[in-house]
Amino acid sequence: MAPIAVGDSIPDGNVSFFDEKDELQTVSIHSLAAGKKVILFAVPGAFTPTCSMKHVPGFIEKAEELKAKGVDEIICISVNDPFVMKAWAKTYPDNKHVKFVADGSANYTKALGLELDLTDKGLGVRSKRYALLVEDLKVKVANIEAGGEFTVSGAEEIIKAL
């Protein structure tokens, strides 16, 4: 499948996360994004170096600025289970705006055409690193990284696009 691109509608699919009451929720991406301006950004894996030290912190640090520019939701997706995503989210005590969601079987990642096979590194199928700016389910910006890079998918690049 061709990767998601500017002008495309995002596919629907389910993701899981723990809510404020610590209850596991499974919801559709469309329920999180319909009628809103959202950032969907993905990382190859929770607790991995670039993801944990650069990608996620950038969105947490810039969240207020992104919100001021009209962003309703900032959603971090990873091909990990919701328990891992919950534990990872807890490592960012200052986070107020980034929602950590799990795409445990990579079904949503595959629907986007953004899977990354890291089987040779013992990680299985994961997600490419990317950041999408989506308005009412339509992709306005698609910053998709080449394997192993972190050059176009950070919060700064999305801010420039807003």
pTM as predicted: 0.94
Q: Residue 1's pLDDT band (boundaries 50, 70, 90)?
A: low
Report pLDDT digits (tens) over 50-100. Answer: 888 999 999 999 999 999 999 999 999 999 999 999 999 999 999 999 999
Report the C-alpha gap between 4 and 60 in whole angstroms. Answer: 25
Question: Comparing 12-21, 95-104, 113-122, which segment has the lowest mean pLDDT?
Answer: 113-122
Q: Which residue has the tokens 């801010």?
A: 159
The verdict on whether 51 is a catalytic residue reads yes
Please pick, among 33, 39, 51, 71, the residue that the annotation labels catalytic.
51
